[in-house]
Structure 1
Amino acid sequence: MGRGRKGRDVSGWLVIDKPAGITSNAVVNKVRWAFGAKKAGHAGTLDPEATGVLAVALGEATKTVPYVTDALKAYRFTVRLGVATNTDDAEGEVISQSDARPDDGLIAAALGQFTGDIQQVPPQFSAVKIDGQRAYKLARDGEELELAARDLYVESLEMVDRPDADHVTLEMVCGKGGYVRSIARDLGVALGCFGHVRDLRRVWSGPFDAEDGVTMAHIEENAGDAATLDALLAPLQIGLADLPELPCSADGAAKLRNGNPGLVLSSDAEYGDEAWASYLGQPIAVGIYKAGTLHPNRVFNLPQ
């Protein structure tokens, strides 16, 4: 028999305002250690030098990660014009330069081609897998990679500041899988001047906002203090904000907890919609709604 994972059965969402200079996985590992939690994960990687919303799920909340990952996200970032790097950010080596500096009108006009449903090629230094290996590892070894373009939905891309001729600050709202570094790179190409990301901040991600974020310093200062840290957690159902909630009876909850279809009392969902069931406000399961019944595909094992 395999050993169970050690740690506390603590569940919920924690919004970290990630500092620059640390990977997303390192943040998750520190949070899990501080809480003494059995299980933790995050809803969308940020580059090490990026800051802002990193939504960390603990315990049963990890079952709602896909719903936050799929939600829209907003980024504020500054593009350095006139310089391209091999990483598409300020950490890389300069590979191309230009003296051209487009004016505000040209930049604003170019942004339209990066909105809606677009195709985007990930950066050479990215976590995309090629034949089982991460692209950034191959790129570090000097390989020139042919990465396939990927679909991306960009709801909006706007210029919000022009600090000087060399820089432009943009805000973007996009769907799952977007690379801000690729936007900066491709915008520079479209403008004929090259470009890369100088700084990047995720302002919000699905239901989570950077203004509500907790610092890593606060987490580390209170490591092991369960009462203080647990008070920071949002309930796991926050991650289900985009799905209909279906209240159910005690009998329906019992059936759903056992992985069986259960009756729900009322519904705004339509036949075939994904939704979640609750009993006395507690999330029970996520599943497919069919004519008054929820057919579960994820069941939450929370204290009753």
Structure 2
Amino acid sequence: MGRKRKGRDISGWLIIDKPAGPTSTAVVNKVRWAMNAQKAGHAGTLDPTATGVLAIALGEATKTVPYVTDALKAYAFTVRLGQATNTDDAEGEIIGESDLRPTDAQIKEALSPFVGDIQQVPPQFSAVKIDGERAYKRARDGEDMDLAARPLWVEELILTDRPDADHATLEMTCGKGGYVRSIARDLGKSLGCLGHVVSLRRLWSGPFTAVDALTLEQVEEMARTPELDAHLQPLEIGLSELPELRCTPEGAARLRNGNPGMVLASDVDYGDDAWASHDGKAVAVGVYKSGELHPARVFNQC
């Protein structure tokens, strides 16, 4: 018999306004402690120096993490023009400089190739795995790697401010797997002036925004109290990007056992991803086929 997990069997989402400094994993561990939860995870890593929306899933909500991770996200970031660093942010060593400074019009014109379906090479200091080892570990050892480009969907990339000649502030909405540091690096190269990120903030992630976010200080102040529990958002919000199908009591029973279950008619097409609910609670998420949902993940909610 497996050893029982310590903590409460509690499920839902807690949204954190991450400060600069701690890793995303450290924030998850803090929230798990504060909620006294058995299980926790996050939907999309933020670099230690980055701030903003970090969605923490607890309990059964961790099964919905992939659907939030796949959703669009928005970032505001400032690029330091005229300098390139080995990490593509302000934490790294300067490896190139330029006296050239583009105009606002030149920056706006250069943004167009970065919108839509693009190919993006991750930073040398990134969590991409090469032969089972993280790229940043090799980069720390001085290795210069030839990282493969990866596809990225960029919904929008706009210039929002120009504080001075050396800095440009932008906002980007993109899909899964985007590196803002790569955008800054490649934009600087395309402008001929080089560039790196000096500040980065995630504005929203899928259905979650900073409006409902707590600071880590607030989490610590309300730790292990009903006041903190009151900020927990339902598991179902993590599935808001997918169509909801209501199921019959019989269908719900079958789904809970991992079998295809009958769902009520809807406008979803054969083969679409969807989730089934009964009495307002998520029962399962999976693939819709001919009047039934074939479950990929089943939720054990009271």
Settle same-fold status: TM greater than 0.5. Answer: yes
Show structure 1 runs of 5+ residues with no match.
none
- Quote how far apart the aligned CAs of 1:266 are: 2.8
Q: What's the CA shift for 1:2?
A: 2.7
Q: Residue 274 of structure 1 corresponds to which residue in structure 2? A: 273
Distance apart, 1:265 and its partner CA: 2.0
Amino acid at match of 1:232: H
1:22-54 deviation line (CA, Å, top 9, x unaligned): 100100011001111111000100010100010
Q: Structure 1 residue 260 and structure 2 residue 253: aligned?
A: no
SS of the residue 1:101 aligns to: coil
Report the alpha carbon displacement of residue 233 of structure 1 after superposing the two structures with TM: 0.8
| CA displacement 1:241-273 (0-9 Å, x = unmatched) | 111111112111111111111111232211111
1:83 aligns with 2:98: no
User: RMSD across aligned C-alpha pairs, in angstroms?
Assistant: 0.8
Structure 1 letter corresponding to 2:13: W
Contact 1:154–1:175 (Cα < 8 Å) also in 2: yes
- Tell me the equivalent position of 1:73: 73
Residue 147 of structure 1 corresponds to: 147
**Does residue 212 of structure 2 align to residue 217 of structure 1?**
no
**TM-score of the aligned structures, taking structure 1 as reference length:** 0.98
In 2, Cα distance between equivalents of 1:189 and 1:265: 54
In structure 1, distance between residues paired with 2:274 and 2:126 = 33
In 2: Cα distance, 1:232 partner to 1:100 partner = 49
Instruction: State the alpha-carbon separation in 1 of the partners of residues 91 and 267 from structure 2.
Output: 48
**Superposed displacement of residue 68, structure 1:** 0.3
Report the AA paired with residue 287 of structure 2: I
4+ residue runs of structure 1 moved beyond 6 angstroms?
A: none
Q: Which residue of 2 aligns with 1:11?
A: 11
Read off the aligned partner of 2:132 and give its amino acid letter.
Answer: G
Post-superposition CA distance 1:135-182 (Å, at most 9, x none)? 111111111111111111111100000011000000000000000000
Counterpart code for 2:223: A
Partner of 1:180: 180
TM-superposed deviation, 1:211: 2.1
How far apart in 2 are the matches of 1:53 and 1:266?
A: 36
Whole-Å Cα distance in 1 between the matches of residues 34 and 2 of structure 2?
25
Distance 2:154 2:242 in 1: 21
Counterpart in 1 of 2:237?
238
Residue pair 1:121, 1:182 contacting (<8 A) in 2 also: yes
Q: Hey, what does 1:297 align to over in structure 2?
A: 296
Give identity over the alignment, percent. 73
Partner in structure 2 of residue 63 of structure 1: 63
Runs of 5+ unmatched residues, structure 2: none
Q: CA deviation at 1:4?
A: 2.3
Structure-1 separation of matches of 2:75 and 2:178: 10
1:96–1:194 Cα contact (<8 Å) kept: yes
Amino acid at match of 1:110: A
